[in-house]
Each structure stands twice: as C-alpha cells, then as structure tokens.
A and B are shown apart, each in its own frame.
Chain A
Amino acid sequence: MVPLSHYLLLSAALFMIGVVGVLVRRNAIVVFMSIEIMLNAVNISLIAFDKYLNQHDGQVFSFMVMCVAAAEVSVGLAIIISMFRNKPTVNLDEFNIMKW
C-alpha cells in the first residue's frame, strides 16, 4: 500500500505548482487554472487523510470543494468575459487603472 506521506507530498507539490503559477503567470485564464490546481491539490490530501483515518468526512469535504470550485469557475469566467468585452485582452498587467 502506498503510505500516506506519498499522497501528502504529491498534494504539497501540486499546491506549490499552483501557487507559483498564480504568482508568475500574467494570463488571467492561466492564473485561474493555477487556482484550480491548488484546490484539487487540497482534494488529494483530503481524500488521502480520509482513507488513512478510515472516515468519510474528508470525502464529503472534497465533494463540497468540487461544488464550490464549479461555482467559482462560472462566476470567474463570467467576470473575465465581461472584462474582455470592455478591453480585449486577458493580460493582467493591462488592468491597472487603479494601482495594484
């Protein structure tokens, strides 16, 4: 059986990839994808903990995370589209009317 620590390391690695993606990339969609990677990295740890503890709370939690992620996607894409209609770009650096 694969030990718990392997899952946690995988989850931590994915989470870091997501964090770095958010901080480094300037394309709104890619930043958005990186955030989704972060959420799914957490799902991996939740499920791994759940299996390790022999419970079901973690699975329920990860379902909730998926629902929330889906809701967030719909709102996020809508925001990006309405932004794109006013200014045809998805580069975050060009959205600087107000100081970052």
Chain B
Amino acid sequence: MEPINAPESIDLISLAPVLVLSVFAMAVLVLDLFAGKNKALVVFVSITGLFLSGVSALAKYKLPVYSFNDSYVVDHLSVFFIFLFTLSSALAILLSIEYNRREGIRMGEYYSLILFCTIGMILLASSTDLIMIFLGIEIVSICLYVLAGIRRRDLKSNESALKYFLLGAFATGFLLYGMALVYGTTGSTNLMKIATAIHEGNVNSMPLLLLGVVLLVVGFGFKVSSAPFHMWTPDVYQGAPTPVTAFMAVGPKAAAFAALFRVFTQSLPELDSTWEMVLIVVAVLTMVVGNLGAIMQTNVKRLLAFSSVSHVGYILMAVIAKNSIATASLLFYMLAYAFMIFGVFGIIIMMGREGEENLEIENYAGLGYKHPLLALSMTAFLLSLGGLPPFAGFVAKFYIFSAALKEGLLALVVIAVLNSAISFYYYLKIIVFMYMKEPQQEIRVSLSPITLFVVTVSLIATIQLGIFPDPIIALAQN
C-alpha cells in the first residue's frame, strides 16, 4: 500500500472555478428562499458566479498543473473549456428569464441546477482519472434529468425526463463497466498511468481491455448522442423546456467530448487502430442518421435535435484525426456551435407561446415580412449551422475537414461534405417557410430585451468568428 500523499498534492487554487461555482450555486439555493417571486436577484447572482468562475480559471500561470494525485489538471484545453461552459451557462440562464416567466417556472432551483451542472462539466473537462470522469458525467447527467422534467405538470416534460433518465442511467452502466475493465486490466484509473501500462505491455488481458474500450465508446456515444445511441436525443430535446434544450445541446455535449477526447487520445493512444475504426463507423452513421432523420421533421426543436446529432458526427472527426489542428478545430467548432445554437433557440423562444406551443415549421410562415430582422438573423444562424461562408459554421467545418484530410481520411471527409449538402435541405426548408409562405395565423413575437440581447450577441459572434477566426484559432491552438 502506498502511503497517503502529503497535502502538497492538494492544490485548491487549481480547483478555484469549481469552488467558486459551488459556493454561488448553494448561495442561489438559499437566496431563493428570500427572493420571493422576483427572480432578478437570483439570476444576477448566478451570472456573477459564472463570471467569477470563468475568471478564476486564469489563476494558474504555468500550465499544465496537476493536483489531487494527478487526478485533476489545469491545462490550456481545460481553461478553454471552462470559458466555454461558463459562457454557455450564462447565455442559457439569460434565455431562461423570459421563458420561465411565460411558462410559470418560479423555482430558483432551476438556476442553481444549471450552476451545479456547470460544476460537473468543469470537472469532466479537467479530470485525468476515470473515477473523476465518472463523477463528472453523473453530476452533469443528474442535473439534466431534473432540468428536463422541471415543467412537472406537463406530460411531455415528464416523458422527456423519464426517457432521458432511463436511457442515461442505462448508458452509465456501460460506461462504468468499460471503466472497470480498463482499470482491471491496466491496474490504474489514472489516464497517464493507463497509457504507460499499455505502452509497456503491462496489461493483464488484452481481450478484456479491448472489450472495455468498446464499452467506453458505447457509454460516451450515449452521452454525446452519436448514432446508433442517439434514440433519446429527439424526444428529450423536444420535450425539455426550450432554454434547457439549448443548454443541453452545447455545454454538456462539449464536456462529454472533452472527456472522450482526453480518454482516447491521452490514455489509449497505443490502441488507436482499434478505437479509430469503431469511431469512424460511428461518425459516418451519426452524420447520415442525423441528417436523414432531420429531413422528415416538422417540429423545429425535434429538427434541431437531429441536426445536433449530425453535428456530433462532424465533431467526432476531430477526435479521430487527433493531430494539433484537430484539437484546435474541436475547440473552435464547440465555440461556434454554442453561438449558433443559442441564437437559433433565442428566436425559437421568442416565437414560442405559453405551454410550449408554436414550435412547428408552419408557424414560421411569413415571419420574413412581419419581422424582417428576426428572420434575417434566423437565416444567418441556419446557414451557419449548414456551413455556409461567411459564417462561423463554415470556418469550423473547414478546420475539422482539413484536420481529417491531413491524416489521410479522404473518404470520411467526402461523406461529411455530402452530408453537409443534405443538411441544407432542412435548414432551407425553414427559410423557405419564413420568406415564401403566407402566414396561417397571426404572428405574435414576444420581443423581450434580454432574449434579443442574447440573439444579437450570438449573431455578432457568429459573423465575427466566420470572418476573423484567426484570434480564436490561435488561442485554441495553444
């Protein structure tokens, strides 16, 4: 038995973003008791917490810093992800304000759950130990189960939470079994030690290790919603409250990708011939299933759920390519995707009506005449999601494809490009409805200033990242 390490391995400063956020999340819970019906204070405190947490990620200068017996790391990857998470959670909270007022969600726990979920995401992106990764995934998932079902008098929301919960817990079982087998065969839960054990041929049973790796792919596949493990995505995205859907599509997914990226590239690089093949098959399937599924949808949220599945396929290409461009392109894609998603969902929230109504594509007919600016920004977001220049989506896809091409994955890139072409069919369908169809009912848009602010910020960022991507790319390449 090794002696218990001296306290110097405990570096609380490197944990600052998590600690700050934990304090604020609990403060929000308590404050809510005194805040009454007006949630402005609760929202303000939540946003402050997220901001401070993002700032405290910069507390360490010399990166990477390992602490807690090498199970937690602050490196450039995790700092970038912490910024992404705090930003996306803040945008999600801002989007929720108007929505929650309309739907009568008066619980302050809503905001603290988002903060707790962000804590899980930060842990997930900074962990270098299987136990920590497991805990991070569960913190994120359990918060999301509750958030999905927070409209508890609504049967759709219940159904969404139940499906998410059962399938999520089911996937956790697979992930956990994979982790147990990797631990058992390599003798460690630490990602670096696992890599060393495999490198030195210090593995008890190769078949069991490979089985463990496959189970990890299944478990992570569920969490990032890649085909054939994506069945929950459309139902959960449709039934969950709209801001929660936007939140789920960005932060937790990015966090799961961060962990997936770390596990496969840091601890299992020696086995890449195995998991690369599996991931290529998964990526192709994900793109095809996502895009073909989206074509037939009439509900906007459901359509975007399938579209997010297809985006997972593109992002998986970055994990497969795993060169230095790939890491940067993964980060850039996540950032660009965050702004596009929050923009689109901001507009969906403004178009929506009480009781999660007005979410069909037909409801968007004639929006182009009534609110030309709103329709124009919706068009920009949708074209960016499809990957058209000069928007961020184009640059993001371009970098991912070039990273894959550099590794000689020509066939995969061709399939991805063809899939992007298919995706324009359903993105353009919404645009056609907005500009070329007569409205069947009166168009009523709730133009709340905060939601408009989120949409404007997202629009500026989408265009800015599309025209001047260099600073962010340079930042991501570190």
Report which A residues bind B (CB closer than 8 A).
Answer: 15, 18-19, 22, 28, 31-32, 35, 38-39, 41-42, 45-46, 48-49, 52-53, 55-58, 60-61, 64-65, 68, 71-72, 75-76, 78-80, 82-83, 85-87, 92, 95-100
Count the B residues whose beta carbon is within 8 Å of the partner chain — how many?
43
B184 neighbours in A (Cβ, 8 Å) = 45-46, 48-49, 52-53, 58
Assess whether A98 is in contact with B170, with CB atoms less than 8 Å apart. no
8 of the cross-chain contacts (CB-CB < 8 Å) are A35-B166, A46-B180, A57-B189, A58-B180, A58-B183, A79-B158, A83-B158, A95-B163
A60 neighbours in B (Cβ, 8 Å) = 131
B154 neighbours in A (Cβ, 8 Å) = 86
Q: Given A86-B158, A98-B302, output 4 extra A-B contacts at Cβ < 8 Å.
A: A53-B187, A58-B180, A78-B146, A99-B234
Least CB distance from A30 to B in Å reads 11
Stretch of B134-142, B378-386, B388-396 with 4 or more beta carbons under 8 angstroms from chain A: B134-142
Assess whether A100 is in contact with B235, with CB atoms less than 8 Å apart. yes
User: Lowest 6 A-B CB distances belong to which pairs?
Assistant: A49-B184, A38-B173, A83-B158, A82-B152, A68-B138, A98-B235
Assess whether A64 is in contact with B135, with CB atoms less than 8 Å apart. yes
Least CB distance from B207 to A in Å reads 12
Assess whether A65 is in contact with B235, with CB atoms less than 8 Å apart. no
In-complex Cβ contact of A97 among B155, B176, B187 (8 A): B155
Least CB distance from A80 to B in Å reads 7
A18 neighbours in B (Cβ, 8 Å) = 173
Assess whether B155 is in contact with A39, with CB atoms less than 8 Å apart. no
B134 neighbours in A (Cβ, 8 Å) = 61, 64-65, 68
Given contacts A38-B173, A97-B156, contact A79 B183 (CB under 8 A): no
The interface bits of chain B over 168-204 (1 if a CB of A lies within 8 angstroms of the residue's CB, else 0) are: 0110110011011101100111000000000000000
Assess whether A56 is in contact with B239, with CB atoms less than 8 Å apart. no
Least CB distance from B412 to A in Å reads 30
B176 neighbours in A (Cβ, 8 Å) = 39, 42, 65
Least CB distance from A98 to B in Å reads 5
Least CB distance from A89 to B in Å reads 12
Q: How far is the CA of A82 from the CA of B107 in the complex (A)?
A: 16
**Residue B231 interfacial (CB < 8 Å):** yes
B142 neighbours in A (Cβ, 8 Å) = 71-72, 75
The interface bits of chain B over 87-106 (1 if a CB of A lies within 8 angstroms of the residue's CB, else 0) are: 00000000000000000000
**Residue B460 interfacial (CB < 8 Å):** no
Least CB distance from A90 to B in Å reads 10
Least CB distance from B212 to A in Å reads 10
Least CB distance from B176 to A in Å reads 5
A76 neighbours in B (Cβ, 8 Å) = 145, 165-166, 169
A19 neighbours in B (Cβ, 8 Å) = 173
Given contacts A64-B135, A76-B169, contact A57 B149 (CB under 8 A): no
Q: How far is the CA of A76 from the CA of B154 in the complex (A)?
A: 17
In-complex Cβ contact of A46 among B183, B188, B238, B239 (8 A): B183
In-complex Cβ contact of B183 among A31, A49, A98 (8 A): A49
**Residue B159 interfacial (CB < 8 Å):** yes
Assess whether A75 is in contact with B166, with CB atoms less than 8 Å apart. no
Least CB distance from A68 to B in Å reads 5
The interface bits of chain B over 230-273 (1 if a CB of A lies within 8 angstroms of the residue's CB, else 0) are: 01001100110000000000000000000000000000000000
**Residue B62 interfacial (CB < 8 Å):** no
Q: How far is the CA of A68 from the CA of B169 in the complex (A)?
A: 10
Q: How far is the CA of A56 from the CA of B124 in the complex (A)?
A: 23
**Residue B63 interfacial (CB < 8 Å):** no
B166 neighbours in A (Cβ, 8 Å) = 22, 28, 31-32, 35, 76, 92
The interface bits of chain B over 103-131 (1 if a CB of A lies within 8 angstroms of the residue's CB, else 0) are: 00000000000000000000000000011
B163 neighbours in A (Cβ, 8 Å) = 95, 100
**Residue B161 interfacial (CB < 8 Å):** yes
**Residue B6 interfacial (CB < 8 Å):** no
Q: Which residue of A lies closest to B238 (CB)?
A: A98
Assess whether A82 is in contact with B158, with CB atoms less than 8 Å apart. yes
In-complex Cβ contact of B131 among A35, A48, A57, A100 (8 A): A57
B160 neighbours in A (Cβ, 8 Å) = 98
Assess whether B189 is in contact with A61, with CB atoms less than 8 Å apart. yes
B180 neighbours in A (Cβ, 8 Å) = 42, 45-46, 49, 58, 61
Least CB distance from A27 to B in Å reads 11
Given contacts A15-B177, A83-B162, contact A99 B183 (CB under 8 A): no
B135 neighbours in A (Cβ, 8 Å) = 64, 68
Q: How far is the CA of A40 from the CA of B160 in the complex (A)?
A: 26
Assess whether B149 is in contact with A82, with CB atoms less than 8 Å apart. yes
Assess whether A86 is in contact with B173, with CB atoms less than 8 Å apart. no
In-complex Cβ contact of A71 among B138, B152, B153, B161 (8 A): B138
In-complex Cβ contact of A86 among B138, B153, B169, B188 (8 A): B153
